[in-house]
């Protein structure tokens, strides 16, 4: 007779753990977004895998430049320019992917830097806080966040922030998908 309450307690515990595991990316995204809005760099940086974000951006930009190189093989100057551009991609990405730039992407819902780039550490204007985010699961260990700013008619699915599971319920930003460059 004592086994029924024990089984019920185990079922409730298993359902609670399963629910926590399933909803952990949503909670992690909420945490990283709040850290970005508070300009809490320590909490924000703990949830970003900067080496993987940099590698992701380098790969995307290099692939796009290689496409351009293939398209302009008949023009020697275009080929030379593209090859020189590929040399600088690494330094450009290293300079661009800084905590304040990634944090601004989460605050504003876009990768473009605005005219007020010197405002690092200041509170964002009220209209930047109205950014709506849509999370889309891509399997059990990957979630992509898409933004929709007030000036957009619909969610921009070209640009996305990719979060991957680390361990049981920890998630980190591992990739920024740029879409059309």
Give the model's pLDDT for residue 51: 93
Q: Judge if pTM exceeds 0.95.
A: no
Cβ–Cβ < 8 Å for 161, 107: no
DSSP code, position 128 = G
Cα radius of gyration rounded to whole Å, the chain: 21
CA dist., res. 92 & res. 18, Å (int): 42
> Per-residue pLDDT tens for 115-166?
444 444 444 444 545 778 889 999 989 999 988 777 777 776 767 899 999 9
Of the candidates 46, 58, 61, 48, the residue with the CA atom closest to the CA atom of residue 94: 58
Give the model's pLDDT for residue 118: 45
| 73-92 average pLDDT score | 74
> Per-residue pLDDT tens for 15-74?
999 999 999 999 999 999 999 889 888 999 999 999 999 999 988 888 887 776 666 566
């Amino acid at each position: 007779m004592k086994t029924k309450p024990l089984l019920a307690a185990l079922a409730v515990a298993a359902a609670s753990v399963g629910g926590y595991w399933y909803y952990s990316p949503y909670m992690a995204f909420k945490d990283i977004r709040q850290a970005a809005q508070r300009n809490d760099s320590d909490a924000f940086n703990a949830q970003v895998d900067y080496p993987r974000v940099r590698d992701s951006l380098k790969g995307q930009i290099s692939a796009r430049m290689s496409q351009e190189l293939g398209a302009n093989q008949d023009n020697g100057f275009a080929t030379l320019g593209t090859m020189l551009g590929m040399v600088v991609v690494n330094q450009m990405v290293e300079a661009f992917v800084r905590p304040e730039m990634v944090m601004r992407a989460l605050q504003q819902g876009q990768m473009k830097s605005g005219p007020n780039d010197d405002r690092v550490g200041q509170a964002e204007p009220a209209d930047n806080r109205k950014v709506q985010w849509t999370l889309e699961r891509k399997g059990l260990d990957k979630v992509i966040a898409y933004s929709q700013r007030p000036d957009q008619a619909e969610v921009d699915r070209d640009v996305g922030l990719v979060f991957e599971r680390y361990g049981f319920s920890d998630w980190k930003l591992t990739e920024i998908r740029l879409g059309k460059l």
